[in-house]
Amino acid sequence: MPEILTGRALRAYVHALPKAELHVHLVGSASLPTVLELARRRPAAGVPADADELAAFFTFRDFAHFLKVYLAVTSLVRDRHDIHTLVTGLAADLAAQNARYAEVTVTPYNHLLDGMSADDLLAGLESGRAAAAADHGVELAWCFDIPGEKGVKAGRETLTFALRERPEGLVSFGLGGPEIGVGRAQFEPFFTAAREAGLRSVPHAGETTGPATIWSAIHDLGAERIGHGTSAAGDPALLEYLAAHRIPLEVCPTSNVRTGQVRSIEAHPVRRLLDHGVLVTLNTDDPPMFGATLNGEYLAVAGTLGLSAPEIARLARSAVEVSFLAPARKTALLKEINEITLPGPEDFA
């Protein structure tokens, strides 16, 4: 029977695994010191510049309140230097989790709406991505997403920006923001055009709404991966479809708890998803806002579900396999994962 790791052995094994993160938002990745620095620089945005007050600010009442806070933090990000700081800060945090690759969600429409120039946004992404690789050994790719609450206009302009600028590292096209009252189907023309141009479809769905939103993301938007997708657990036919068609879910357990979508990690449907053969990847979503780390997501799920070392490694492999990394890089990273050995007593001497 495969060994169930606990305590220091579990922590050592999880950290040793090379990992990929597929669902993390650039603005939501801003560390608390970074947010404090930006808040002090731009007090008019209304984000607390005191550490204790900021911690209270990040105590979310519900998903709508989380979005309000998220947009307030977005308004602090004004130029290429801010973007560069966010990107390199995220890369440093990923490197600390032994993450080698991440697909990072960027919402150009919100930044441009807040007055940032397109040149600044693109320059910050480019310089930050180069520094992430050179200084931290982390490869970053981009997902440009539509803020769904801003409607069809945001969809059209996000598509135009993505296809016109096409920065190095742009691999996918997404849809974020609230799901309630924001139907997926209205964005079908933009996802069709994005897919025809070679971008991959990765919309959010089933985070705050039921399985119907996930079905719509699949049929209307051609989703190749689903952001969150946890409500699929309530639809046996959808679970079967996801497993049969190998459509992965980008699951963010701590995020779901902090925004009130589930009561606890213990109550999270991740076990049901895995038991039905659904491809599950673990992700942080907006890590400092939720007090999350990538290693922490693995530890929480492994500890709660009593996963064996092979099961934990399978989660790490799934993230690499369903990523949009180049095939040669996938092969190399999977080889590294497969070569990780269990920690022995000498590791804790």
SS3 content of the chain, % helix, strand, coil (to 5): 55, 15, 30
207 is catalytic: yes
Q: For residues 327 and 107, what is the distance between their CA atoms, to the nearest angstrom? A: 27
Could you tell me if 49 and 91 are in contact, meaning their C-beta atoms sit under 8 angstroms apart?
no
* Beta strand segments in the chain, E: 19-25, 99-106, 139-147, 170-176, 200-201, 204-205, 226-228, 249-251, 280-282
DSSP track, 325-347: --HHHHHHHHHHHHTPPPP-GGG
Q: For residues 120 and 138, what is the distance between their CA atoms, to the nearest angstrom? A: 22
289-325 burial, b at 16+ Cβ within 10 Å, e below that, comes to: bbebbbbbbbbbbbbbbebebeebbbbbbbbbbbbbb
Could you tell me if 126 and 168 are in contact, meaning their C-beta atoms sit under 8 angstroms apart?
yes
- Residue 159, judged by CB atoms within 10 A of its CB (0-12, 13-18, 19+), counts as buried
The label of the residue with tokens 């589930």 reads 262
Q: Which of 228, 165, 216, 167 is nearest to 191 (CA)?
A: 216
Using alpha carbons, list the distances in angstroms from residue 83 to 34, 115, 118, 126, 281: 11, 13, 12, 10, 26
- Residue 185, judged by CB atoms within 10 A of its CB (0-12, 13-18, 19+), counts as exposed
Extract the tokens encoding 262.
């589930």
Selected catalytic residue, list 179, 207, 250, 297 = 207
Q: For residues 229 and 249, what is the distance between their CA atoms, to the nearest angstrom? A: 6
Residues with catalytic annotation? 207
